[in-house]
Structure formats: structure tokens, C-alpha cells
Structure 1
Amino acid sequence: MKFSKYYLSAFVSFVIWGFFSLALKPLKDYPSLDILFYRVFFCAVIMSVTSLFIRRKVLADNIRIFKQMPAMQRKTVTALTLSGGVLLTANWFFFIYVMNHISVKAASFAYLVCPIMTTVIAFFVLNEKLSKWQWTAVSMSVASCILLSFNNIADIAYSLIVAASYAFYLVSQRKNTGMDKFLVLTVQILFSALILLPFYPVYSAGIPTEFSFYALIAVIAVVFTIIPLYMNLYALQGVTSSTMGILLYINPLMNFVTALFYFHEPINFIQIVAYSIILISIVVFNERFIFGRKRAVLV
């Protein structure tokens, strides 16, 4: 695979996310919705201030570009941007809930399945082709899901929801072109904040008083949200959804190792077999990339 700034951006973003549980797990005593509320609100404030005062020229240029777009393109950009905000909100809530109230392994499994789901969705939506090896890997991934679901069907259901929400986000944003990516992300997070704001007075457990809560939320907002998400959107300008899938495996593998060796979560034989199948499917799915074989040219 040719190395470029886009690959580097994707790689670093998933490495950062691999350490997310270290900042999120200490907040397990707080309700998932409160963590989501403050994460989104902190991000919205930080990114709004950045766009309005630090990147004013970029903002003005992109407003002009948006106004000059054909009406259909403006509608497409608006729809993809706002739907991306909805998908991010759903993904964040379910990920926080699974990480803190189900298990780190379940959250890890979500992002083992996500690359496969991303590629399958991209096959139908973006017409990205899959080889026989890749379809074999998809089948193996499905088999592992079935195996894991025997005794943990609720866990797997949550994992699949987390995976699907981010897979649809990646595929949709691959088609969202023409605007500055940081500004697109700013609009998405502002839209997410507007979605959540009416629910805050009703569903918030109260204003936290501990300084550690706000410190960890600030770290999550900047280090584990704004930076990696922007790098993801930037990377999508130069890599395909399938390539993002290759690099996305960095995140769940690091999460799974963290769950076993840092949080000491138990694992049984069925889980070992299922995760082994997932790892084999990763190799099978990316056999051209791993072994350096060239893709046959389709005429």
C-alpha cells in the first residue's frame, strides 16, 4: 500500500482511539447519557470557538463555496453533514454504554466487525468491489458473530449497533465532499449538541461537582473526539472505505488487549475461538495488502 499523509492520518487516529478506554472507564460511575452530554457540549464549544475566531478565513471561504454550489449539491452536502451528526450521536451513546455497562470486550468486538460492515455497505452504496477472498472473510466474520451470540446475544446486539452506526458514518462521509473537513465536523457536532440539548434537563443526573469528571471529559473531547474524527474525515479524502477498514482494526485489537491485560476482564473458550476467527478473517480480508499481491485489472 502506498504510504501517504492520508494513510498516516487514518493510522494515527485509530491508534489514539485504541487508548480511549483508559479515559472512559474511570467515568463508569456516571450515567452514559451524562458522559455523552458533556462530551458533545465540550466539543461543540471548543470547535465553535476555533472556527469563529481562529479559522475565520476558512469559515468565510467555505460559506462562499457553499453558496456557489448548485442547488442539488448544496442539498446533498447538507443532508450528508446533518445525517453524519445523527450517526455520530448514536455511535457515541451506544459505545459509551457498551464500554461502561456491558464490557470493554463487547466494545472491542464492535470495531472488529465494523470494518467488515463498512466494506459491505460500501459495496452496495459506493459500488466498491469485493474479491472472493474478501467475501470469504465476511462469511467468517458472520460465523464468529453467531458463535459469540450463543451465550451473549444482548452483548452482540449492542456491539452490532455500535459497529453499524460508525460504518454508515464512514460510508456517508466518503461521499461528503467539497467543504473543509474541520468545518463539516464542527457543524455535525453542533447539530449533535442541538439534538441532545432538549434531553439534558430531563435525563441528566445533575451537574457533576468533581473536577476529575470535567478533566476527563476535556481529554475525551479533544484527544479522543475532535482530533481523531478530524483525522478520519481528512483521511477519507485520499483513501477508500476498504483501506479505512484495514487501519480500523488497530482500534479493536488494542481495546481487546487492554481489556485482558489492564482491566483483567475474563474470557472463555468460545470467545477465544470466535476472536481467533475474527483475526483470521482480518488476514483473509486483507490478503492482497498483507502479502503484497496486486489486484487483477478488470476489463
Structure 2
Amino acid sequence: MTQAPSPTPQPSGLPHALGAYLIWGFLPLYIMLVSSVPSFEFVGWRIIWTLPLCLLIVAVRRQFGEVKRALTSPRTMLALLASAALIAANWFIYIWAIMQNQVYAASLGYYLNPLLNILLGTLFLKERLSRLQWLAVAIAAGAVAMLSAGALTTLWISLSLAFSFGLYGIVRKQVNVGALPGLTIETFILIPAAAMIVLWYAASPDGSTFGKTTELSLLMVFSGVVTAVPLLLFAIAARRMAYSTLGFIQYLAPTIVFLLGLFVFGQQLRTVQLASFLLIWTAIAIFVADLWWRGRKVRPIRA
């Protein structure tokens, strides 16, 4: 009897996931290189330089049809308008926080984000939490409460980053459009505001930062790359990997940011911040253990 050919193995998404989260993790190093640029102006240029790169990748991937379908759907465009506002707010807060040397607050925001996503899923998507997941959320809430008592001045940064990105994910989950076409449309929506920002800085007495030095101008153009490329890598990884595995890898980025704050930027880690991080890491361990255990229970038995 002729043996049936074995199915072609699915390419691994692990290299793409690692690439995305390594770029996001080391992003503070890039942001510090452009720290002389005002936060608002940098976000404006980031939006402007992201659009042409997104259009180029969309053309290479032949996704203009998906972009066109989204542009002709009023419901989709309304959702992308909301998601564009949320991601723009997230970009600005994160860039401002890094430029103000609030690296730990930024890192904590993205540690909180996956746990917040669980909570938002129960509120907006009617998803159910296991007991261990509720325990993880409760421990994370304790960490936030501890920060509110001992580090109130930076708590808003962490919560704003977590909520803006969490709500962004909820909105995008309701829209049937891919990551890259969606980002292209969101960037296009934000272009008028970005143009107004850079023109306002150009008309100011100090003038626009862009064009003052070749090195700084090239670094600002590079902002389009560090925005679009990791998202594209993430989109590829999400299609090829189990969601639980991808969820575990996402903690790589805030861990790198935390280590950069400790060893590169030389920021002092206060006792209340350390205690809060320990609680968050405990909550993450419980969350990941629950995902792993549930994955083992539902994994089909192979002959």
C-alpha cells in the first residue's frame, strides 16, 4: 500500500514573534536617541513616516483589496477612527514617559496589559475567567493599589498605557480587517492631525526639529520602520502560533524595558515599585500556568 504523503509542516512563527517583541523591548534606546525632539512633534513625524512604509508593505503583500473594503464600510471606518485615537494616545504617552525617564512606569503598563485584556474580555466580549485567572487579576489589582499609595505620580502612566492599548485591542477585535491594512487606515486617519502638529512646530520660534541635523532627521524617518515592521512580524506570528504561546512571549518586551531602566538608564528602583513588580510577576506566573494547564487538558490525544 502506498503511504500517504505527510502534510507540509506549517512554518514556525516563533522567529517573527521574537523579532517583534525584541524591537518593542529595545524601543526605549531608539527613543532616547531622539529625546531632543518634543514628544508631540515626534508622534506627528512618526505618523507621517509610518504611512508610506505601510502602503509599500500593503502593495508587496497585495492587500489593497482589504484596505478598499474597509474604506467603503462605515461601521469599520467608525471603529478604526476610535482605534486610531487610542493608538495615537498610547504612542504619545509611551514616548513622553521614556523621554521623561519614567521607564519603570512604562514597563509596568505593558506588564498590566495582558491581565487587563482578560478583564476587558469579560466586560465587553462576555468571556469567562477561571478561578486562577480571577486570582491573577486580583493580585494585579493589589499591585496597582500599592502603587497608588506609594507611587501615585507615575501610576497614571502605567494605567494609561495599559487601558489605551487594551481598549485598542478590544476595538480592533470587533473589526474584520487585518493588522497591517488596519494600521494603514489608522495612520491615514491621523495624517491631518500629524500634519497640523508638525506645521505648528515649524511655525514656532524654534522651528521644526526635522531638518536641523541629518542624523536626527534620518532617525525620525526611521520611526516609520520601528512602527510598521514589528506589527507586521506580530501579525505573521499570530497566524502561525498558539495564542497561549504568543501571550507568554509578549512579556519579553516589558522585561527588556525593565532591565534597560535598571542597568542602562540607571533608574532607582523604589521599594514600592519593586514590590509592585513582584506582585505583577506573580500574577503573570499564575496566568501563564493556567493557560499551560488548560492547553494540556484540551490537547487532542495522538495515536
Match of 1:226 in 2: 228
Report how far residue 19 of structure 1 moved.
Answer: 0.7
Report how far residue 198 of structure 1 moved.
Answer: 2.5
Deviation string, structure 1 residues 213-245 (Cα, Å, up to 9, x no partner): 2222233320x2101223344555577887654
For the structure 1 residues 168 and 64, does the alpha-carbon distance in structure 2 shift closer, same or farther, using more than 3 Å as the test?
Answer: closer
Alpha-carbon contact 1:113-1:163 (below 8 Å) kept? yes
Aligned amino acid, residue 58 of structure 1: Q
Report how far residue 10 of structure 1 moved.
Answer: 4.0
Report how far residue 6 of structure 1 moved.
Answer: 5.5
For the structure 1 residues 238 and 166, does the alpha-carbon distance in structure 2 shift closer, same or farther, using more than 3 Å as the test?
Answer: farther
1:12 aligns with 2:12: no
For residues 110 and 272 of structure 1, the distance between their equivalents in structure 2, rounded to whole angstroms, comes to 14
Deviation string, structure 1 residues 122-165 (Cα, Å, up to 9, x no partner): 22222332111111111111111121222321211122111111
For residues 276 and 234 of structure 1, the distance between their equivalents in structure 2, rounded to whole angstroms, comes to 32
1:35 aligns with 2:38: no
Aligned amino acid, residue 98 of structure 1: A
Aligned amino acid, residue 220 of structure 2: I
Alpha-carbon contact 1:134-1:286 (below 8 Å) kept? no
2:63 to 45, 54, 58: 58
For the structure 1 residues 76 and 196, does the alpha-carbon distance in structure 2 shift closer, same or farther, using more than 3 Å as the test?
Answer: same
Match of 1:191 in 2: 189
Alpha-carbon contact 2:22-2:253 (below 8 Å) kept? yes
Match of 2:267 in 1: 265
Match of 1:283 in 2: 285
Which runs of 5 or more residues in structure 2 are unaligned? 1-9
Match of 2:172 in 1: 173
TM-score (norm 2): 0.82
Match of 2:199 in 1: 201
Q: Which entry has the higher C-alpha Rg, 1 or 2?
A: 2
Report how far residue 105 of structure 1 moved.
Answer: 0.9
Match of 2:3 in 1: none
TM-score (norm 1): 0.83
For residues 64 and 146 of structure 1, the distance between their equivalents in structure 2, rounded to whole angstroms, comes to 45
For the structure 1 residues 106 and 166, does the alpha-carbon distance in structure 2 shift closer, same or farther, using more than 3 Å as the test?
Answer: same
| Count of aligned pairs | 285
Alpha-carbon contact 2:14-2:241 (below 8 Å) kept? yes
Which runs of 5 or more residues in structure 1 are unaligned? none
Identical pairs, percent: 21
Aligned amino acid, residue 167 of structure 2: F
Deviation string, structure 1 residues 65-107 (Cα, Å, up to 9, x no partner): 559xxx9xx3332222222211111110011111111511111
Report how far residue 266 of structure 1 moved.
Answer: 0.8
For the structure 1 residues 172 and 239, does the alpha-carbon distance in structure 2 shift closer, same or farther, using more than 3 Å as the test?
Answer: farther
Alpha-carbon contact 2:70-2:77 (below 8 Å) kept? no
Aligned-residue CA RMSD (Å)? 2.9
Q: SS of the counterpart of 1:105?
A: helix
